[in-house]
Amino acid sequence: HNQTKLLAITDQLTGLHNHRYFKEYFEQEMVRAKRYQKPLSIIMLDIDNFKAFNDTYGHAVGDVLLSSLGEIIPTSIRSIDIAFRYGGEEFVVLLPDTGLASAIVAAERLREQVRILSAGAMQEHGTSGVTVSLGVASFPDNASSCNDLFQVVDQLLYRAKRQGKDAVHFLPQSKEQ
């Protein structure tokens, strides 16, 4: 990537890839997964009670938190798993070559690492850390297109929020992975 391209695909606050690049990358990885008959997993995560956090501590501190997640998320996953800031306090991770059972392991680690490391990162700013809710879904188990897979993971995240937050949600597996 040249400098201009890098700026266009980077979220300035977190240093992660941005929404626009996610769409491009997701389509590309799906084409690859189908062609080589490999699984592809997606994790969607959202900071719990972020609005209350912002209201309590102010937007500047909210930005510090978002920025810290820009470090915590990528250090908690494999370097071939790629993280994006989808928007607001919402992030997605794409896990190429990874089936649902493995993606759930990674999602659980993300949940745990964010809880622990965000507390450490925010200590000097006088706030507590945060928890995240996550949805996990996989091609080909849960859907066979980007749009459908995204819809599934989005609904799972919504369900995690509704059912009490700080949790990883996925669809039950019928067969061994």
Give the footprint of ligand C2E on this chain (CB under 6 A): 76-79, 81, 95, 98, 102, 105-106, 109
Instruction: Report, in Å, the least distance between residue 44 CB and ligand C2E.
Output: 15
Rounded Cα–Cα distance for residues 32 and 62 (Å): 37
Q: Which is nearer to ligand C2E, 33 or 127 (CB)?
A: 33
Residue 90 or 108: the one with the smaller Cβ distance to ligand C2E is 108
Which residue, 80, 130, 134, is CA-closest to 109? Answer: 134
Over the range 42-67, which residues count as b (16 or more CB within 10 Å of their CB) and which as e?
Answer: bbbbbbbebeebbeebeeebbebbbb
Catalytic-residue membership of 71: no
Picking from 36, 33, 13, 14, the residue whose alpha carbon sits closest to that of residue 25 is 33
Shortest Cβ distance from residue 95 to ligand C2E (Å)? 4
Shortest CB 109 distance to ligand C2E, Å? 6
Catalytic residue, chosen from 29, 71, 89, 90, is: 89
* DSSP secondary structure code for residue 2 in this structure: -
Closer CB to ligand C2E, residue 81 or residue 127?
81
- Residues with a known catalytic role: 89
